[in-house]
Amino acid sequence: MFNNVYFDRAVIPWHESEDAISDDRAKVNVDPELVKMRLSDPVKFMESLFEITRGWGYRAIGFKFMYWHKHKVRHEVAANYLASDKSIRIVHLKRRNLLRRFLSLRKAEISDLWSLKRDEQKEPFAQPPVELPIVTCIEDINTVETKQAEYDERFKNHSVLELFYEDLAHDPLAVGARAVAFLGLEAHRGLDVQYQKIGTESLRDAIVNYDELKASIHRWASFFDE
């Protein structure tokens, strides 16, 4: 609903199937009426998708609503709808260390590597260290803190599960089980962890201007956790 890439591609990639031709569920991904409705009437689109999936026996579906997604009128309409329906459960995934978050973002932008599946890399993965512009780093941390507070306020009357990325990376099965239980479900077949963490080196090894950065942002001294 909020990712402009999918609007440009005219797809609704909610369901993956190895055999999309024979799987009726996968046809929703390119259903012309739903694609058109997503653009013209976001609320009706979401309600239609909810109804379709309930008819197939799904007890819960969901999607990402990133901090930076809400910047078009249709996004705001959809966001207001989500905020107004108190029955919608919110899993708010945060990061404790926002310096590491900015480091990950910079590395992804430079390398154009945004994710890594477990079966794609068998050996320890290391990326070259990068320099973090001090002003940009401070602006990014401030922005994320503001957005975290904004989303906390927007969905304060919902049932909310607050999770942290660091805990998810450390024990994805345990944190995933918490999310599944929060949604009123059971993981009958276990949880499939498909992706691995990319950035595992220390901040000092990963940031070229580590000492300069540490001396400049005293407010977030706790982020320099080594």
pLDDT in tens, the chain (226 residues): 888 888 888 988 877 655 545 567 778 888 899 999 999 999 999 999 889 888 888 888 888 888 887 667 788 888 899 999 999 999 999 999 999 999 999 999 998 888 888 877 656 567 899 999 999 999 999 999 999 999 999 999 999 999 999 999 999 999 999 999 999 998 777 788 888 888 888 999 999 999 999 999 999 999 997 6
DSSP state of 18: T
Rounded Cα distance, 198 and 116, in Å = 7
Rounded Cα distance, 108 and 41, in Å = 34
- Write down the pTM of the prediction: 0.86
Q: Contact at 8 Å (CB) between 226 and 154?
A: no
Q: What is the 3-state secondary structure (H, E, C) of 119-172?
A: HHCCCCCCCCCECCCHHHHHHHHHHHHHHHHHHHHHCCCCCEEEEEHHHHHHCH
Query: 57: alpha, beta or left, given left = phi > 0 and alpha = psi -120 to 50?
Result: left
